[in-house]
Amino acid sequence: MPVIRNTGLLALGGIAVAALLTVIGHLEVNDDLNPWALTISDFAVSDRGGVIDVAMVVLALATVTLMYGLRRTGPPPDRAVELLLGAWVAGLAVAAVVPTNEPGTAMTTAAYLHRYASVVAFLSLPVGGWLLARRDQLTPAARWLRGLAVASLVLAAAMVWSAYPGERVLIGLAERLLILTEVGVLTAVALVLARSGSPTRGIAA
Give the pTM. 0.90
Report the amino acid identity of residue 94.
Answer: V
Q: Measure Cα distances from 138 to 70, 91, 135, 196 in Å.
A: 9, 25, 5, 10
Give the list of residues 6+ apart from residue 34 with CB closer than 8 angstroms, or none: 172
pLDDT of 105 above 80: yes
Closest CA to 85 of 106, 108, 73, 69: 69
Give per-residue pLDDT as tens, 144-203.
999 999 999 999 999 989 988 888 899 999 999 999 999 999 999 999 999 985 544 444
Backbone angles phi, psi at 42, to 5 degrees: -65, -35
Name which of 22-36, 94-108, 152-166 the model is least confident about: 22-36
Closest CA to 191 of 151, 153, 149, 137: 137
For 170, left (φ over 0), alpha (ψ -120 to 50), or beta?
left
Residue 204: the pLDDT is 39
